[in-house]
């Protein structure tokens, strides 16, 4: 499974990203890619939604 930090080089660092859990009930982070806390680097990506060119919602689960 893909780790969150692997996506950083694929997505513009100024893009807005929202990190949510699998049920979309918790938002872990909302902001630009360059500001994502290091604590989420090794979390697994479950799904990725592109809302527009510079806005993404990524469903993640803990290590």
The tokens describing 7, both together, are: 């996506």
Could you give the 3-state DSSP secondary structure of residue 21? Answer: coil
For the chain, how many structural domains are there in total? 1
Predicted confidence at residue 60, as pLDDT, reads: 97
Mean pLDDT of the chain: 93
> pTM of the predicted model, to two decimals?
0.89
The residue length of the chain stands at 63
Residue 1 has pLDDT above 90, yes or no: no
Which helix (H) or strand (E) segment holds residue 51: the answer is strand 44-52
Pick the closest to residue 59 from 32, 40, 39 (CA basis).
Answer: 40
Mean pLDDT of 39-60: 95
Residue 63 has pLDDT above 80, yes or no: no
- How would residue 62 be classed by pLDDT, with cut points 50, 70 and 90? very high
């Amino acid at each position: 499974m893909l780790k969150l930090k692997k996506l950083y080089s694929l997505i513009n660092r100024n893009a807005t990203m929202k990190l949510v859990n699998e049920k979309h009930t918790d938002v872990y982070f909302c902001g630009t890619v360059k500001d994502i806390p290091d604590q989420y680097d090794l979390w697994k990506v479950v799904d990725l939604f592109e809302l527009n060119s510079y806005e993404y919602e990524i469903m993640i689960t803990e290590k």
